[in-house]
Structure formats: C-alpha cells, structure tokens
Amino acid sequence: MTIVSGKRILVTGGTGSFGKAFVRRVLDDNEISEVVVYSRDELKQFEMAELFKDEKLTFVLGDVRDYERLRKASVGIDIIVHAAAMKQIPSSERNPIEAIKTNVLGANNILSVAQENDISKVIALSTDKAANPANLYGATKLCSDKLIVNGNNANGNRKTKLSVVRYGNVLGSRGSVIPYFLERAKSGKIPITDVRMTRFWLTINDGVQFVLSSLQRMQGGEIFVPKIPSFKIIDVAEVVCPGIPIEIIGIRPGEKLHEVMITEDDSHHTFEFENHFAIVSPELPIRVNFDQTSSKVNEGFRYSSDLNPFWHTHESFRELLVKHKLII
C-alpha cells in the first residue's frame, strides 16, 4: 500500500461500514502518517475510538454540508476518501432536500476544499444506482459523480486529482439485504420483490481494496467500476434462509429489476481492463496510454447485473458468507 505511506488521509463518513473497514486496513500499514475520521455522530466516533485505540487515528466532528469546518479539518491532508452520504432510498424520497444537501452540496464542498487546500488526491464512493438513476438517491449520487469528475477541469495549475469509484451491493454492510432477510425469517416468510431481480455483490474488504487500487492508478477524471459477480435476490434468500417460504411483493417505487453500472451512453468513453472498467470524462485529456493497458468497449456496451458474465453459484455465495461470518 505505497499509496498511503507517509500520507495523511481524511475519510468522510469514516464511522460507517466502509469507513471502519478502510481505516482498519490503512492503519495496518505502519508507514501511514495519520488517518482523520470526519463524521457527525459523536457516539459512533467514541465507539470507534474505543475499538481501534491507535495513536495515528484522529476524530473530527463535522458535517460535509459545513464548508468551513471541512476546510479546517482538511488542512495538511494529502488524500480525501469521500464516503459520507445519505444512502437510504425511502428516506431520500421522503426528505429530498436533505439528500441533496448531503450528497450534492456535500460533494461540492469536498471538491472546493480539496482545491483550496491543494490536496493531492480525492476519491469519492458512488453506487450502481447513479447509472441511469430511478430514484432520488441515485440522482444525487450521479450529480456528485459529475461534480467530482469534472472538478478536474477547474483545477488550473493546482495538483489536485479527483476520481470516483462505483460499485454494487456490499455484503453485510449496514442496511444490506442479508441481515434484513435473517430478521424477516423470524416471521416465517421472506419478502421478494421479483423472482427475476439481480444485483452485483462484493465484500467490504474487496471494496476497500478496490478503492486503494484506484487511488494508486487514478489520473483524475475517471469513474472506476470493478468486475464483480451477479446473483439473483431470490437465490440470496435461499442461501441465507434455506427452507423459509418466499412472498412476492412486487417492485417498489424507485427500485430497478437489474442494476446498471455502465450505461450504453457511457460506452463511448469506457475502457476495459483485466479486473475493472474506467469511464473517462470526454472533456478531459487521457493522461495515460489506455491503448496499451486496456481496450475500448464496443459502442452500446452495457454493464448490468443481468448481462454480467460473472455469476455466483449457491455454493460460492454460501462460502463467501461463511468466510466473512455473515452466516454460520
């Protein structure tokens, strides 16, 4: 992890599922200088401090909506990993302006303080729901992605490089479907919206590694998308809660039958590597020779969970859950 050696990293939303896993991973690198967790929940910060007890870990209370607080917290920082977001779809639909303030205006604050403080690299976490969004959460994350990627245009002579990581459902994260299924199994039925529904799946450790790898290779202006397996939601239920009856409840407002991470419109600017894709802003020059390390995808290419060539089997999915202690 030479990318973090000797660096000071600020992680927004650092007390969340990704944040804690990321912090744990980078603290294992003895050469890192400092990790600053920036978040707004003092109880979660206290609990995380008790869990980690590391002198290289600093906690700062603050909200990404608060520009001045964020500016002060990021003075002297080398890298920002922006993981703070309002993520729950129903909450975003009911409280749209709150989602916009956190996900859109918060991302703009990240961009502004990074340029003002001459921070070397910014990588923002996105979601499959930002590609051709069907709900407000996805729409706000698409706006966030555009702000971060196109922030490279306004850099002038500044050194700041900004990129985005976009991936699918994280196994075992807060609010994920697996603990939900386990809880609903107690009632005797598992609710499934549609038997055809598919999703992308990756572990939180894989997500952390992808962010670190993307920090290493980023030139500024890319949206990095990992190649990860698909699996049907109904198959997830059968693996997690075998023998529990299924109840079909229909697709909810703002929900997609299949998740998309790269749309047909993005295909014009997407390059395929061995283990990932990179969507490159057409307004930015390509600063590396992509032709020697990748191939441009065909026009009309679409990377979606139903068309994915990589699929979990019941056995591989069960092994993954057992390995990460999500089921016994």
Say which residue the tokens 């909200």 belong to.
63
Task: Judge contact between 171 and 204, C-beta under 8 A.
Answer: yes
Predicted TM-score of the model (pTM)? 0.94
- What single string gives the DSSP state of each residue in 21-67? HHHHHHHTSTT--EEEEEES-HHHHHHHHHHH--TTEEEEE--TT-H
Model confidence at 288, pLDDT cuts 50, 70, 90, reads: low
The rounded distance, in Å, linking the Cα atoms of 247 and 316 is 25
Residues in Cβ contact with 306 at an 8 Å cutoff, skipping those fewer than 6 apart: 198, 230, 257, 258
So what's the pLDDT on residue 155?
65
Model confidence at 299, pLDDT cuts 50, 70, 90, reads: very high
Q: Compute φ and ψ for 23, nearest 5 degrees.
A: -60, -45
pLDDT, tens digit, 9 for 90 and up, residues 27-69: 987 688 999 999 999 999 999 999 998 999 999 999 999 999 9
Q: Where are the alpha helices (DSSP H) in the chain?
A: 17-27, 42-52, 67-73, 89-94, 96-99, 106-116, 136-150, 177-184, 204-217, 233-240, 290-293, 314-323
How far, CA to CA in Å, does 210 sit from each of 1, 6, 72, 175, 259?
12, 20, 28, 21, 19
Q: Where are the domains of the chain?
A: 2-323
Q: What superfamily would CATH give domain 2-323?
A: NAD(P)-binding Rossmann-like Domain (3.40.50.720)
Marked catalytic residue, from 121, 129, 232, 256: 129
**Amino acid letter, 208:** V
* Known catalytic membership, residue 53: no
Higher pLDDT, 312 or 89: 312
Other C-beta atoms closer than 10 Å to the C-beta of 142 total: 19
pLDDT higher than 60, residue 1:
no
Q: Compute φ and ψ for 321, nearest 5 degrees.
A: -65, -40
